[in-house]
Structure 1
Amino acid sequence: FGQFKVPHRITAILQGESLLNDATALLIYRMAISAAAGSILLSSAVPMILLSTLGSLAAGYLLGRLSLMTLGRIEDPASGTVVQFAGTFGVWILADRIGLSAIITIVVYAMTIARTAPRRMPARNRISSYSVWETAVFVLNVLAFVLMGLQARTIVGRLAGQGQTDAFVLAGTVLAIVIVSRFVWVLGCGAIIRWFDRFGVADRQRDAPSFRGGVLIGWCGMRGLVTLAAAFALPAEFPARDPIVLAAFTVVLGTLVLQGMSLKPLLRLLNLNPDETVDREVAQARVVVMQAALDILSGKTSDAAAAVREQYAAQRKIAKNPDDAQAATEYDRLRLYAIKSQRDALEELRRNGTIGDEAYHRLEEEIDWTELAASPPGRFQPLNT
């Protein structure tokens, strides 16, 4: 979604909705399965959901604070990443074993760490963990979809004759209901909120998305791994399990293909005006942090301090004029152009035998960090003039 120019409010709604929906849906799903199996009474399901939710919130926060005490003492990036993985999966398993909502617990756990970890974790650990987590999430998603796809093929094979036809009709009907019901809910709620605001019924303005924004939110109802996992988690003896799994697979595939592939044309048709809230905040914060660096160095009189001040002053000048895209681009291009010459010189030193591999890789790492600092995420900068 980040590659499209979408208003920040809509992006925030969709991201928050995804977390909330997954957490609540899985919690209710778990209670429903237990009630169907006779493990709990239906009348006690609601109190148990409330207790599980409150317990998950408390457990996620406490475990997050405990994890921060450990992560702050680890300086080695590899060890820090391993501890992060062990802690994350350990929190999930622990929450599941004691009857809490694992997904609510892990979300609160992650939010607790994200708010505090930047001041406790070394930058090297944080940057390396981002790459590892991104790769791990991608690989796990791919493997999960592959394994579930193989199981879906077996299920389709078991639905022979008229049963297979009825199952596909059911799956198509469920897909249509999922898409239409989301539109009705999103556009209906948006219309009601705007009506309240227009006639002053509400005590305060709720700032509902516009009609075009509601259309986009309604269309961004792609389902994913959680839907499939919930269907496959049904007991083997559950009535009509195979048609249910096929319907879940159809919903996931249908929404990802139909809605996902048509998202870009829809954005072009809706012509939404992207707000620059985050860009403005970044620009303002960049000026403040650059000024903080200059202030702390103002009393230093060495040549090194003067060189560092000059660099920060140049960055602050660019940050104070965010609309001057050419200045920022030229600054980054020159830095990367100089870095390329450093790499060429380093390669030549190793080629002619002046330095060995150990010295080469140590300097290569220094240049890599410099290049990362000169290459803002999401913005391509050519390495030659």
Structure 2
Amino acid sequence: MDATMGLQLLLVAAGAIGVAAVARRRGWPAPLILVAAGLIVSPLVPPVPLEPELVLYVFLPPLLYSAALESSYLRLRDAKRTVGLLSVGLVLFTAAAVGTVVHLMLPDLPLALAFALGAIVAPPDAVAAVAVGRRLGLPRRTLTVLIGESLFNDATALTLYRVAIGAALGGAISIWEGLGEFLLAAVGGVAIGLVLAFAFAWLFRYTRDSLVENTLMLLIPFAAYLAAESVHASGVIAVVVIGLYLGNRMHLQGFGTRLVSTAVWRVTDFLLEAIVFALIGLQFVTVTEGISGYGAWEVAGYAAAVLVVTIVSRFVWVFSVTSLIRLVRRGEPKTPAGQRLILSWAGMRGVVSLAAAFAIPPDVPARDRALLLFLTFTTVIGTLLIQGMTFPALIRRLGLSSEREQYEDRLAEAAAQQAALDAGVAELERLIAQEGEPDEIQAQVIGNLRDKSWRRSLSAWERLGGGTSHGGAETPSALYRRLRRQMLQAERQVFVRLRDERRLDDEVLREVMAQLDFEEAILERD
């Protein structure tokens, strides 16, 4: 990477963060606003190249790893059949449908390149859909399926893409050879992911340092991706496997590691996603300049056809497969039509498709390569803007909500909190009996501990009522939190004033402010 490209990326990052900040403040879907902003700005600024290696080796691993860390292994396991049908079956079906239609429209284009385009546009990127769905309260199972699909579908698509490109460049590859390459990539990715997961889990047992552990976690996705890709296995699957494994064991880490990890990955996700979606829009001029030998309306027709086939293929697969499963398995519960419609419409494509198109080897004829890149770009932009912009309205129209799930979550949390606090109080009573009669100061400490347990128990049950009592008045826990937050703010002002008066060192100020911040964080959780 030269200095010019580095400066371009820095400017893109700064602009993307600014646009994303405005979108977040307004409650708009930031990924879609970033794409639209990139499209508008693209003709006005120098071309910003989208390097495939930058996307696949720098942006993709940490984004996949972060999503896997936050995913529920247990929920994904429950939805494994649906996730598998989407991340493998739907990708193959879409690639075949798009490849067939492109070959019929462009018979002069090699069949292998037509199927390569199908593999490129086949995998959806669920970042935008999940962001909107979470904000509007989609049911948990639907979100789990979307997240699981996005975690695994890239591996299927990228393997199929490699096979198709290899065939286009003169390597005669049979179906069985292609299947063998896919199995090698999948099995190898799982094996490497598990080996690294066990190794890092063992290492974390002995570090016990939140700074060291989170620094290692920043390196893990790159290590897993590179290790798998170096032996022609799936780096995507390796990263997802290790992320799911370590995420499921995060409770074994220290509280400091968990607190820091949450902050680190939120910042990382925000920065990388902002840059990625801005880069998508900024490719407008680059992908349109290389088109030659086709009329404008002709190319527009090809682009519209690929976009329509890509969108319709998902509808056909989701509705037909769910109906077929119910036909074969009589006792299978019926998937609500609204949920199937949401899954069908949540097929926005993303930067992995663009990176794969930019990575088409220069050995492919320039005219064909430019056309494939343009068709990929229009499919990505079309799905993001058409489906992405209408996705919130569709969710509201269908009335899908997770309110019942949220209530059940609060009820389960309150019961679990009560059981855990009862165990904590029992352990406290055991220690008191073991250590003998406490003196006055010890009795105050013990009283404070009992009082804190009582407040936490009360707070958990109060959340079922939304923080208000039956008469609509402020609950005791809500009152406590409000007053304590105001007290903390007053304490902060005193510490800052003493620092300004040079009666307190900055290092001491940072320490006490951290203590107050942790207490306020606990108040927010309680």
Quickly name the TM-score band, shorter chain normalised.
0.7 to 0.9
Q: Which runs of 5+ in 1 are unaligned?
A: 378-385
1:164-190 deviations in whole A, cap 9, x for unaligned? 443332222211222222122223333
Contact 1:68 1:117 in 2 (8 A): no
What displacement does 1:93 show? Answer: 0.6
Given candidates 443, 453, 471, the residue that maps to 1:312 is 453
- Residues 219 and 284 of structure 1, relative CA distance in 2, 3 Å threshold: farther
Given candidates 421, 426, 432, the residue that maps to 1:295 is 426
Given candidates 463, 468, 482, the residue that maps to 1:333 is 482
Distance in 2 between residues matched to 1:175 and 1:16, nearest whole Å: 23
3-state DSSP of counterpart to 2:207: coil
Q: Is 2:362 the partner of 1:236?
A: yes
Distance in 2 between residues matched to 1:280 and 1:316, nearest whole Å: 12
What displacement does 1:350 show? Answer: 2.7
Contact 2:163 2:173 in 1 (8 A): no
In the TM superposition, 1:60-79 aligns within 5 A as 60-79=193-212
What displacement does 1:95 show? Answer: 0.4
Q: Is 2:290 the partner of 1:158?
A: yes
- Residues 176 and 110 of structure 1, relative CA distance in 2, 3 Å threshold: same
Contact 2:169 2:364 in 1 (8 A): no
Distance in 2 between residues matched to 1:28 and 1:293, nearest whole Å: 54
- Residues 76 and 163 of structure 1, relative CA distance in 2, 3 Å threshold: farther
1:225: which partner in 2? 351
Distance in 2 between residues matched to 1:213 and 1:87, nearest whole Å: 35
Distance in 2 between residues matched to 1:210 and 1:341, nearest whole Å: 53
Q: Is 2:390 the partner of 1:262?
A: yes
1:184-214 deviations in whole A, cap 9, x for unaligned? 22233334445x3xxxx62643x34301111
Q: Which runs of 5+ in 2 are unaligned?
A: 1-132, 433-441, 469-474
2:231: which partner in 1? 98
Distance in 1 between residues matched to 2:393 and 2:278, nearest whole Å: 29
Contact 1:10 1:209 in 2 (8 A): no
Distance in 2 between residues matched to 1:126 and 1:71, nearest whole Å: 13
1:55-108 deviations in whole A, cap 9, x for unaligned? 221211111110122234334444333322222201111100111011011111
What displacement does 1:297 show? Answer: 1.8
What displacement does 1:143 show? Answer: 3.3
Identify the range of structure 1 (340-349 vs 60-69) with the bigger mean alpha-carbon deviation.
340-349
In the TM superposition, 1:71-150 aligns within 5 A as 71-119=204-252, 121-147=253-279, 149-150=281-282
Distance in 2 between residues matched to 1:190 and 1:331, nearest whole Å: 51
What displacement does 1:146 show? Answer: 4.5
- Residues 219 and 332 of structure 1, relative CA distance in 2, 3 Å threshold: farther
What displacement does 1:149 show? Answer: 4.7
Contact 1:283 1:319 in 2 (8 A): yes
Q: Is 2:491 the partner of 1:342?
A: yes
Distance in 2 between residues matched to 1:353 and 1:374, nearest whole Å: 31
1:225-283 deviations in whole A, cap 9, x for unaligned? 22222222211232522222222222222222222222222122111242315444434
Given candidates 327, 333, 336, the residue that maps to 1:210 is 336
Q: Could you tell me the TM-score, scaled by structure 1's length?
A: 0.86
1:23: which partner in 2? 155
Distance in 1 between residues matched to 2:291 and 2:357, nearest whole Å: 16
More helix by share: 2
Q: Is 2:148 the partner of 1:7?
A: no
- Residues 235 and 291 of structure 1, relative CA distance in 2, 3 Å threshold: farther
How many residues matched?
Answer: 370
- Residues 366 and 64 of structure 1, relative CA distance in 2, 3 Å threshold: same
Distance in 1 between residues matched to 2:357 and 2:268, nearest whole Å: 23
Contact 1:152 1:245 in 2 (8 A): no
Q: Is 2:359 the partner of 1:359?
A: no
What displacement does 1:321 show? Answer: 4.7
- Residues 290 and 3 of structure 1, relative CA distance in 2, 3 Å threshold: farther
3-state DSSP of counterpart to 2:193: helix
Contact 1:220 1:259 in 2 (8 A): yes
- Residues 25 and 285 of structure 1, relative CA distance in 2, 3 Å threshold: farther
- Residues 202 and 280 of structure 1, relative CA distance in 2, 3 Å threshold: farther
Distance in 1 between residues matched to 2:238 and 2:154, nearest whole Å: 12
Q: Is 2:520 the partner of 1:371?
A: yes
Distance in 2 between residues matched to 1:14 and 1:270, nearest whole Å: 18
Contact 1:190 1:211 in 2 (8 A): no
Distance in 2 between residues matched to 1:64 and 1:374, nearest whole Å: 34
Q: Is 2:365 the partner of 1:247?
A: no
3-state DSSP of counterpart to 2:364: coil
What displacement does 1:360 show? Answer: 1.2
1:311-366 deviations in whole A, cap 9, x for unaligned? 11211123235422223644533442332232233233334444222221110011
Contact 2:196 2:224 in 1 (8 A): yes
What displacement does 1:299 show? Answer: 2.7
Contact 2:410 2:464 in 1 (8 A): no
Identify the range of structure 1 (340-349 vs 229-238) with the bigger mean alpha-carbon deviation.
340-349
3-state DSSP of counterpart to 1:307: helix
Q: Could you tell me the TM-score, scaled by structure 2's length?
A: 0.65
Distance in 1 between residues matched to 2:145 and 2:501, nearest whole Å: 57
Identity of aligned residues (%): 29
Tell me which amino acid in the other structure corresponds to 1:270: L
In the TM superposition, 1:179-194 aligns within 5 A as 179-194=311-326
Contact 2:189 2:234 in 1 (8 A): yes
